[in-house]
Structure 1
């Protein structure tokens, strides 16, 4: 198939936008995690997709079974923030930071517009008292003629923990049907105005802390390829049925690799084969077997104690070249590993 010059330009612009979005997200996540670890030494930092977390309590679209008549869905997916960062330590209440990331191949003016858009996204989520939520927004400029530049905005908020220590993160998350909206106080003392958004009231802090912890555990289980375990951490509104349903072999992944050893520990997880140009690569994703046992048994509190105890050790060498494996191995402080190597054809 031969594309016309106009079609080629459209395709090129599409892939350029795709790359800028992906790289902008990557650079933003790395910078945000670095800032939070420096700011809160001795704490773990977990990244949780905002849509998945919010779906535990709010209907995000008219297709959601909890959608109320006359409620009207919130603004589209493109208008919702990217993620939450949970800064946590076992036995303590969490600190939560809404964050959003953008990227572009254009001028600083484009970054300014992106930051303005991201500001609206992060300000649509309030945790605790009105207008006291710390949040961050990042825009990465990928100019081929200049150094990569990351523009950032931050609202410091009150740095208030999410709520009292849960004491039992092992308890299942109950699904809720909250009405979306934020009550904005009238500076003149009149009635509050309800504006679009999500508000986690102070009395719901313990519940939302469990939502974040369980959503992170579901992501960890999915990273190993075990959809059944992941579904056990999710509510119906979060898509529990999609993880427990049959998955086609082209799109699904199965936890089918056991005993693979990295950093002196046996791992369990899944592997994928993909192409990079003319080369075929083998990628393994998983976590140490003893940690997966805790994830599978829904022992969230014990899992968090274990990874926090080894946080400093696992942060020392986040990337190594493993001669036995035959390629680079990247380790995250939560114990998860991504390993990649060339896949040689048999002769």
Structure 2
């Protein structure tokens, strides 16, 4: 990575550009936090992908565009002879446009699944929530650059909050990228594309600081979809720990209280870098959450995560109540269309638990498949009624009662559960042949 970063900086200087800031300290992920392999099913990857994309893909076609984005990859993944997840023949399609889209999107599924696993190992008695960074930042910051044509400001792709009732939440910044490069057959080393993506992740995560500079832990991940022996996720980390102020269910600043967009958060030259390596202290451009705003940021993070849960379940107006105006509240209060919208009007029973959410029937060639995404009805009811702090307490108490399994109860298909109460379930429907009149 150091060599790849040096080559990038040399090229930028040759073009008259400044070198970009990156994380000053990077380390490998330790064996205690992640073994060399993670036990994971394809539907768990699709579940992670759907949860990651559900809020940032706002638009009038939100039902099909958001909830079911992941389902086009149902035929892309399988287990190879080595017992590792791999691309199928269809998944390895040679069309360049498809490969680019597949690498970008499956990188989110695999990257988030790996990042959640690592954070869960760090905080084993916590629940892990994933929130899209851009959706969070819209409540207080301008995402675009100040100069026309410069694009958006660097920032991580996702925030992972590890939370437990009665304890401060822990936040980790995550950047996910993906490619179809294969390791060198002779040396086994990762190719340059993966290294460049990890360097890019270091630049993105450096663009956001929560509290004092360089104290928030970061994970940079690059997924190789055509690696030797299956799918390979390369990960490096920047160490640290960021704690958000403790909230109490009925105390000041709890997540049940509605918050508004926070105007006036300083943005240009907001990040304060202390003196180090012989350089003077300086201020640079970037997203900075000041220490005095950590309480507000914790509320914002919890409410945005709740909006993601209800959007995943087809929440509509329920999703809107947890978003600010700048976060896209209007998208979920606008009229919806039957052909493209999803609504929480479907339910399934798994064991003794009822899940409420939304469903969709799609086809893969001649096979009709039903897909359901939703939440435990008890937990969804608490969020629907605005009792977010009670939801977190109830979800924490229920977290150990569910297990991922190929099929449970009357549902004849793969199911993915998550500790936050969400579920994604797939099932092949029987063939109904139409008879001529």
Cα RMSD for the two superposed structures: 2.3
Task: Calculate the TM-score normalised by the size of structure 1.
Answer: 0.87
Which secondary structure does the structure 1 equivalent of 2:98 belong to? helix
Contact 2:155–2:206, Cα closer than 8 Å, also in 1: no
How far the C-alpha of 1:186 sits from its partner, in A, is 4.7
Q: Is the 8 A contact 1:127 1:162 kept in 2?
A: no
Higher relative contact order (CA 8 A, sep 6+): 2
Structure 2 residue 428 is matched with structure 1 residue 342: yes
Q: Map of 1:114-129 to 2, 5 A cutoff?
A: 114-129=197-212
The reply to whether residue 229 of structure 1 matches residue 315 of structure 2 is: no
Number of the residue aligned with 2:411: 325
How far apart in 1 are the matches of 2:155 and 2:215?
A: 19
1:237 to partner: Cα distance: 0.5
- How far does the alpha carbon of each residue in 1:103-158 deviate from its partner, in whole angstroms, 9 at most, with x for none? 1111521110000111111111100111211111000112265443221110112x
Say whether the 8 Å CA contact 2:181–2:227 is kept in structure 1: no
C-alpha spacing 1:173/1:324, structure 2 compared with 1 (3 Å): same
- State the match for 2:21 in structure 1: none
Distance 1:96 1:295 in 2: 22
Structure 2 counterparts to residues 281-320 of structure 1, below 5 A = 281-314=369-402, 317-320=403-406
Corresponding residue for residue 160 of structure 1 = 242
2:357 aligned counterpart, secondary structure? strand
Match of 1:151 among 223, 234, 238: 234
Q: Distance in 1 between matches of 2:418 and 2:148?
A: 36
2:287 to 198, 202, 205: 198
What does residue 162 of structure 2 align with?
Answer: 87
* Aligned with 2:131 (options 48, 66, 82): 48
- Cα deviation digits, residues 219-250 of structure 1 (max 9, x gap): 11111111100000000010000011112333
After TM superposition, the structure 1 stretch with the greater mean CA deviation from structure 2, 320-329 or 18-27, is 320-329
Aligned twin of 1:173: 259
Structure 2 unaligned runs (5+)? Answer: 1-92, 183-189
Matched residue, 2:333: 244
5+ long unaligned stretches in structure 1: 1-9, 63-70
How do 1:128-139 and structure 2 match up within 5 A? 128-139=211-222
Is 1:32–2:115 an aligned residue pair?
A: yes
CA 1:326–1:165 in structure 2 vs 1: closer, same or farther (change >3 Å)? same
| In structure 2, distance between residues paired with 1:164 and 1:72 | 38
Distance 1:295 1:50 in 2: 21
Please give the alpha-carbon distance, in whole angstroms, between the structure 1 residues aligned to 2:230 and 2:342.
38
CA contact (8 A) 2:161 2:172 kept: yes
How many residues get paired?
A: 325
**Stretch moving more, 218-227 or 270-279:** 270-279
- Decide which structure has greater strand share: 1
Q: What is the DSSP-based 3-state SS (H/G/I as helix, E as strand, rest coil) of the residue aligned with 2:414?
A: strand
